[in-house]
Amino acid sequence: MKIATKFIHAGTEPDPSTGAIMTPIYQTSTYVQEAPGKNKGYEYARSQNPTRKALEEALAIIENGKFGLAFGSGVAATDAVIKLLQPGDEVIAGNDMYGGTYRLFTKIFAKFGIKFLYIDMHDAANVKKHMTSKTRLIWVETPTNPLMNICDIAAISALAKTQKALVCVDNTFASPYLQNPLDLGADIVMHSSTKYLGGHSDVIQGGLIMNDPALREQLYFIQKSCGAVPGPMDCFLVLRGIKTLHVRMRQHCENGAIIANWLREHAKVGKVYWPGFTDHPGHDIAKKQMRDFGGMLSFTLRDDSVENARRLLSSTKLFALAESLGGVESLINHPASMTHASIPSEERLKYGLTDSLIRLSVGIEDAGDLIDDLKQAIG
């Protein structure tokens, strides 16, 4: 089945009690039992909810996986993955990943005796160099946030298999429209459904997708035991978002390419970070593992003072100054003071995230209008 058909029909069956074409919002905490222990597969809504179940099936289908699990946020989904580990286990992660993931690892889980290594992952050989007999998980984010570096999912997954370490890919930036990590050998896909899956900047949610039934059981046990489940209304919103993901992504990609190329030609713009450029260091891998290059990009100004960047950030009218990404509306963001402020500046500078870097989440408005807005703001 082709992506367009799959995304529209994923997980939703007509409701058995009424025939409603869209899965209803089952706003209930518990389910009446016919006799003690005799129920219809639903006992208590932290463990089971029909709206969440429809969404979890949809998540599995759109990522070419067998099982999906939904969480109250993207970081709650990441939290569940780390809870698979034991004290003493080692995790290899990228050194330029989402700031909230870095904060969760360093400020919450490191104190429980899990060791995190942050490395340059753009060369898979570097991952091999850092693997030890204690490596249990490799956390991959690609494209990375906000420098748009590319990691080779297939190569890293093959390395991990040599010693049974799990590979989890944060697929938030690419979305399942552009990239399906399970097909490339990863064990778990993680999503901040808040972004492209929801697509309308109106919900916070996360998801995990996997193929191995034993892994699904462990993660389901963590989901119901720790309780970071999303509410049924939020599940409904993400289920609805998924139905138009392919249409939105096509436009995000088209607008992203137009704006990346326009910025690159602009006399006042310094470096543009976007994996679609043939001279981007990860372009060949991106071409191999992604269907297109997405609507996320970052850039610096030629005069790369912080003041100049700040002036631009406050001058756009269509691009709203805000954290987050992946919604239909365009956003502009200053990673150093916003999304990545939880990473100490020495750490950020080490991998090239300067205080003058500007990140765009290119929306699906008219590309000409977006360029006019950037034109007046850059001046």
Ligand X SMILES: *Cc1c(COP(=O)(O)O)cnc(C)c1O
205 burial via Cβ count (<10 Å: 0-12, 13-18, 19+): buried
* Stretch of 32-40, 73-81, 147-155, 365-373 contacting ligand X, by CB under 6 A: 73-81
Cβ contacts of 216-222, under 8 Å, gap ≥ 24: 216/66, 216/67, 216/69, 218/84, 219/69, 219/80, 219/81, 219/84, 219/188, 220/69, 222/80, 222/83, 222/84
Using CB under 6 A as the binding rule, whether residue 118 contacts ligand X is answered as no
Q: Could you list the active site residues?
A: 46, 98, 170, 195
* Stretch of 2-10, 70-78, 150-158, 289-297 contacting ligand X, by CB under 6 A: 70-78
Using CB under 6 A as the binding rule, whether residue 179 contacts ligand X is answered as no
Closest distance to ligand X from the beta carbon of 379 (Å): 30
Residues 232 and 28: their CA atoms lie apart, in Å, by: 9
Using CB under 6 A as the binding rule, whether residue 235 contacts ligand X is answered as no
| β-sheet bridge partners, residue 210 | 67, 188
* Stretch of 113-121, 189-197, 329-337, 345-353 contacting ligand X, by CB under 6 A: 189-197
Closest distance to ligand X from the beta carbon of 252 (Å): 14
Closest distance to ligand X from the beta carbon of 170 (Å): 5
Q: What binding mask, one character per residue, do residues 266-285 give for ligand X by CB under 6 A, x or -?
A: --------------------
Q: Between 15 and 323, whose beta carbon lies closer to ligand X?
A: 323
Using CB under 6 A as the binding rule, whether residue 175 contacts ligand X is answered as no
Q: Between 76 and 301, whose beta carbon lies closer to ligand X?
A: 76
2 burial via Cβ count (<10 Å: 0-12, 13-18, 19+): exposed
Q: Which residue, among 258, 277, 289, has the nearest Cα to 360 in the 3D structure?
A: 258
Q: Which of 26, 98, 116, 274 binds ligand X (CB under 6 A)?
A: 98
∠ at Cα 83 (79, 88), nearest 5°? 120
Residue type, 308: N
Which H or E run contains 260? helix 245-265
> Residue 314 CB: number of other CB atoms within 10 A?
11
* Stretch of 84-92, 192-200, 208-216, 348-356 contacting ligand X, by CB under 6 A: 192-200
Residue ranges binding ligand X (CB under 6 A):
73-75, 98, 100-101, 141, 145, 170, 172-173, 192, 194-195, 204, 206
